[in-house]
A = this chain, B = another copy of it.
Amino acid sequence: MKQTDITRLVPLVRRRVRLLKGDTLYRPGDDAHTIYAVRAGTIRTSMCTAGGRNHVVAFHLPGEIVGLDSVAHATHTCEATALEDTSLCVIPSAALKAQAAQLTSLRDRLLEAFSLEARRERDQAIVLGQMTAEERVATFVLGLSARLSARGFAASEFLLRMTREDIGSHLGLKLETVSRIFSRMAGAGMIRVRSRHLTILDRVKLEDVTKGHSPLPQRAAVALL
Contacts and interface: CB of A to CB of B under 8 A. Distances in A.
Interface of A: 47, 49-53, 55, 57, 68-69, 71-73, 77, 97, 100-101, 104, 107-108, 110-112, 114-119, 121-122, 124-126, 128-131, 135, 169-172, 210-213
A57 B125 contact: yes
A122 B76 CA distance: 14
Contacts of A68: 115, 118
Copies of the polypeptide in the assembly: 2
Contact of A72 (B97, B115, B211, B212): B115
A203 B115 CA distance: 34
A171 B129 contact: yes
A135 B211 CA distance: 28
Given A50-B211, A57-B122, A107-B101, A73 B115 contact: yes
Contacts of A169: 129
A211 B55 CA distance: 14
